[in-house]
Chain A
Amino acid sequence: MSVHPVEILRFNTCGSVDDGKSTLIGRLLYDSKNLMEDQIEALERSADITGGGQINLANLTDGLRAEREQGITIDVAYRYFATPRRKFIVADTPGHVQYTRNMVTGASTANMSVVLVDARLGVIEQTRRHSYIAALLGIPHVVFAVNKMDLVDWREERFREIRDDIEAFLPKLGVLKDVKFIPISALNGDNVVEPSPHTPWYQGPTLLGHLETVHIASDWDLTAFRMPVQWVNRPNNPKDHSLHDFRGLSGQVARGLVKTGDPVMVLPAGIKTTVKEIWTYDGVVQEAFAPQSVTIRLQDDLDVSRGDMIVGLENLPGMSSDLRAHICWMNSRPLQKGKKYFLKHATQTVQAVVTNLDNRMNIQTFEPEPEPAELAMNSIGEIRVRTAKPLIYDGYATNRLTGSFILIEQGSNQTVGAGMLLPPTEPVRPEYQDFAI
Chain B
Amino acid sequence: MKSANAACTPRGVERPWPVLDKMSSYQLDHLQYLETESIHIMREVAAEFERPTILFSGGKDSICLLRLAEKAFRPSDIPMPFLNVDTGHHFPELNEFRDRRAAELGGKLIVRKVEDAIASGIAVPTPGEISRNRLQIPTLLAAIDEFQFDCAIGGARRDEEKARAKERFFSFRDSFGQWDPRNQRPEIWNVYNARVNPGENMRVFPLSNWTEMDIWEYIKREKLEVPAIYFSHKRPGGAPRWSVAAGDGYRSAEGKRGSARDGGPRPHHRRHHQHRSRRKPGYHGRRYHRRDRGRARNRAWFACG
Contacts and interface: CB of A to CB of B under 8 A. Distances in A.
A294 B262 CA distance: 44
Contacts of A415: 185-188, 193
Contacts of B260: 64-65
A38 B275 contact: yes
Nearest to B159: A80
B166 interface: yes
A262 B33 CA distance: 25
A344 B166 contact: no
Contacts of A36: 272, 287-289
Nearest to A233: B76
Interface string A1-13: 1111111100000
| Number of chain B interface residues as a range | 35 or more
Given A281-B74, A292-B36, A105 B19 contact: no
A49 interface: no
Interface in B285-305: 287-292, 295, 298-299
Contacts of B195: 342, 349, 408, 413
B280 interface: no
A65 B263 CA distance: 13
A275 B165 CA distance: 41
A289 B32 CA distance: 12
Contact of B289 (A35, A212, A418): A35
Q: Which one of A89, A240, A330, A408 has the highest number of Cβ atoms from chain B below 10 Å of its Cβ?
A: A89
Nearest to A251: B43
A217 B24 CA distance: 8
A358 B77 CA distance: 48
Nearest to A248: B75
Given A5-B22, A78-B209, A212-B8, A238 B46 contact: no
Given A38-B275, A105-B188, A208-B7, A8 B30 contact: yes
Nearest to A74: B182
A23 interface: no
B36 A7 contact: no
B17 A63 contact: no
B21 interface: yes
B188 A306 contact: no
A77 interface: yes
22 contacts: A3-B299, A5-B29, A5-B30, A6-B30, A38-B271, A64-B163, A75-B184, A83-B4, A83-B7, A102-B186, A108-B188, A109-B189, A203-B10, A205-B10, A212-B7, A220-B27, A230-B40, A236-B76, A240-B75, A291-B36, A404-B188, A413-B197
A250 interface: yes
Given A5-B23, A231-B73, A293-B40, 16 more contacts: A2-B21, A38-B271, A61-B165, A80-B209, A84-B17, A89-B209, A104-B186, A193-B3, A194-B7, A203-B11, A220-B26, A230-B47, A250-B73, A293-B36, A344-B193, A418-B186
A357 B23 CA distance: 45
A194 to B, nearest CB: 6
A338 interface: no
B158 A78 contact: yes
B165 A37 contact: no
B191 interface: yes
B99 interface: no
A71 interface: no
Contact of B191 (A74, A280, A330, A406): A406
B287 A250 contact: no
B197 to A, nearest CB: 7
A78 B208 contact: yes
Interface string B61-75: 000000000111111
A206 B7 CA distance: 6
Interface string A138-171: 0000000000000000000000000000000000
Interface of A: 1-8, 31, 33-38, 61, 63-65, 74-80, 82-85, 87, 89, 92, 101-102, 104-105, 108-109, 193-195, 203-206, 208-209, 212-213, 217, 220, 222, 230-231, 233-236, 238, 240, 243, 246, 248, 250-252, 257, 279-282, 289, 291-293, 306, 330, 342, 344-347, 349, 400-401, 404-406, 408, 413-415, 418
A78 B47 CA distance: 27
Given A80-B158, A195-B6, A280-B71, A401 B193 contact: no
A281 B47 contact: no
B224 to A, nearest CB: 13
Interface of B: 3-4, 6-11, 17-24, 26-30, 32-37, 39-40, 43-44, 46-47, 70-77, 158-159, 162-163, 165-166, 181-182, 184-191, 193, 195-197, 208-209, 211, 213-214, 260-261, 271-272, 274-275, 287-292, 295, 298-299
B24 A37 contact: no
B291 A33 contact: yes
Given A281-B71, A404-B188, A6 B29 contact: yes
A153 B292 CA distance: 36
A63 B77 CA distance: 39
A76 B166 contact: yes
A243 B298 CA distance: 40
A351 to B, nearest CB: 13
Across chains A and B, which 8 residue pairs bring their CB atoms closest together, nearest first?
A293-B39, A77-B165, A5-B29, A413-B195, A281-B71, A209-B8, A63-B162, A209-B7
A209 to B, nearest CB: 4
B26 A222 contact: yes
Contacts of A231: 43, 46-47, 73
Contacts of B181: 64, 75
Contacts of A401: 189-190
Contact of A233 (B20, B75, B166): B75
Contacts of A77: 165-166
Contacts of A222: 26
A18 to B, nearest CB: 21
B290 A37 contact: yes
Given A36-B287, A105-B186, A292 B28 contact: yes
Contacts of B292: 33
B17 to A, nearest CB: 7
A102 B158 CA distance: 17
Contacts of A6: 29-30
Contacts of B47: 230-231, 306, 347
Nearest to B164: A63
Contact of A80 (B10, B196, B211, B261): B211
